[in-house]
Homo-oligomer: A and B are copies of this chain.
Amino acid sequence: MNRSASIKDVANHASVAVGTVSNVLNYPDRVSQRTKERVLRAIDELGFVRNDAARQLRAGQSRTIGLIVLDVGNPFFTSVVRAAEDAAALQGSAVLLGDSGHNASRESNYIDLFQEQRVQGLLISPVGDITERLDLLRERGVPTVLVDRLADESKYSSVSVDDDAGGYLAARHLLDTGRRRLAFVGGPTSIRQVADRLQGAQRAVKEEPDATLEVLDSDGQTVLAGRSVGNMLVERGELPDGIFCANDLLALGVMQSLTMTHTLRIPEDIALIGYDDIDFAVSAVVPLSSIRQPTEALGRTAIELLAEEVESENPRHRAVVFTPELVVRQSTGPAKGSSAG
């Protein structure tokens, strides 16, 4: 048990050359039936398992793809990850998953790790604007596809969802159901997705002369962060009549603190809409309206674009942009004593 069996041990045990064992493993057709059986028996008896490090070393490349997401705890990303894993499995690759947690240094560590592993390529949902680092990767010949982030097509392929359009959809829906004093709740606007969704919302609000949009900064994009923004609003007293949150987790948090007052009603007093349409949106205190993103398509397409980059020597990069979709539920029903318009 000290050292696991090598291909050489198998060769000895079956009285053949190492090359033959390798052929049994990789090109079974090149080997005669008799020999194949003997080798397979030896493999079984010794419990031989290929050493992937040696394979990779010889091959110069691994069969893994690195994927770095901003937050594995966020159902949006787990869904993308799942789709990417499935798509990768179809083409015989495995996915190494890294969670940066919106933290640039953790992200950097994963990039280092994946580079050392000589991954086939990298899918990354980057923290901030790490163009220098990514440009370096590009120079080093590591194919990279940006996920959930629009990229300069001359440099990278990317899959993303039109966040500006999504923000517009959300705000437009609040306006269409009669709300005029809107609030946007979103983490630091240095996060691109947040900034774009806000921008789309502002575009919609500008279309209604009597509508206003207040921006409420949240500390991150979690249920907890949403709850503290909600508490702040409740204490402050002066409330908007429609709230658009940069993601569903935030919205669920806001919903919690609003409903805990037992005096504010959703949607009669305040309408609430989130973003991502995670599974939990439908099972919230008040089922949450949201903006749905095609997560499966994101993950699958990312893998496909990466495959294109890996295969062609000098690939043309493509930026695939998906369109989000409004999902109306109870949390944005008609306002108190007003007909939608």
- A residues with CB within 8 A of B: 1-4, 47, 49-57, 60, 62, 72-73, 75, 78-79, 81-82, 85, 94, 96-97, 99, 112-113, 115-118, 136, 139-141, 222-223, 252-253, 255-256, 279-280, 282-287
Q: Which residue of B lies closest to A141 (CB)?
A: B1
B residues within 8 A CB of A49?
112, 115-116, 140
Chain B residues, CB < 8 A from A99 = 82, 85
Looking at A49, A60, A280, the one whose CB has the most chain B CB atoms below 10 A away is A280
CB-CB under 8 A from A118, the residues of chain B are 4, 51-53
B284 to A141, Cβ gap below 8 A? no
Complex: A190 Cα to B75 Cα, angstroms: 27
Would you list 13 pairs from A and B whose C-beta atoms are within 8 A, ordered by A residue? A2-B141, A3-B60, A4-B118, A47-B139, A50-B116, A51-B57, A52-B118, A55-B116, A96-B96, A97-B97, A223-B283, A255-B283, A256-B282
Interface centre among A53, A54, A79 (most CB of B within 10 A): A53
Question: Which residue on chain B has the smallest CB distance to residue A50?
Answer: B116
- B residues within 8 A CB of A79? 73
Would you list the 4 A-B pairs with minimal beta carbon distance, nearest first? Answer: A53-B56, A52-B116, A252-B283, A1-B141
Rounded to whole Å, the gap between the CB of A85 and the closest CB of chain B is 7
Assuming the A-B contacts A57-B54, A57-B57, A73-B75, are A140 and B280 also in contact, with contact meaning beta carbons closer than 8 angstroms in the complex? Answer: no
The residue on B at minimum CB distance from A95 is B97
Could you say which of A55, A285, A286 has the most chain B C-beta atoms within 10 Å of its C-beta?
A285
Please indicate the chain B residues that have their CB under 8 angstroms from the CB of A72 in the complex. 72, 78, 81-82
Complex Cα distance, B103 from A22, in Å, reads 31
CB distance from A108 to the nearest CB of B (A): 13
B residues in contact with A255, CB < 8 Å: 283
Task: Name A54's closest neighbour in chain B (CB-CB).
Answer: B57
Give the distance in Å from the alpha carbon of A253 to the alpha carbon of B279 in the complex.
10
Instruction: Give A279 Cβ to nearest chain B Cβ, in Å.
Output: 5
Q: Which of B1, B113, B282, B285 contacts A283 (CB 8 A)?
A: B285
Chain B residues, Cβ within 8 Å of A94: 113
Among B60, B82, B285, the residue within 8 A (CB) of A285 is: B285
CA distance A60 to B54 in the complex (A): 10
Give the shortest distance, in Å, between A98 (CB) and chain B (any CB): 8
CA distance A241 to B85 in the complex (A): 42
Minimum CB distance partner of A226 in chain B: B283
Residues in B whose Cβ lies below 8 Å from that of A96: 96
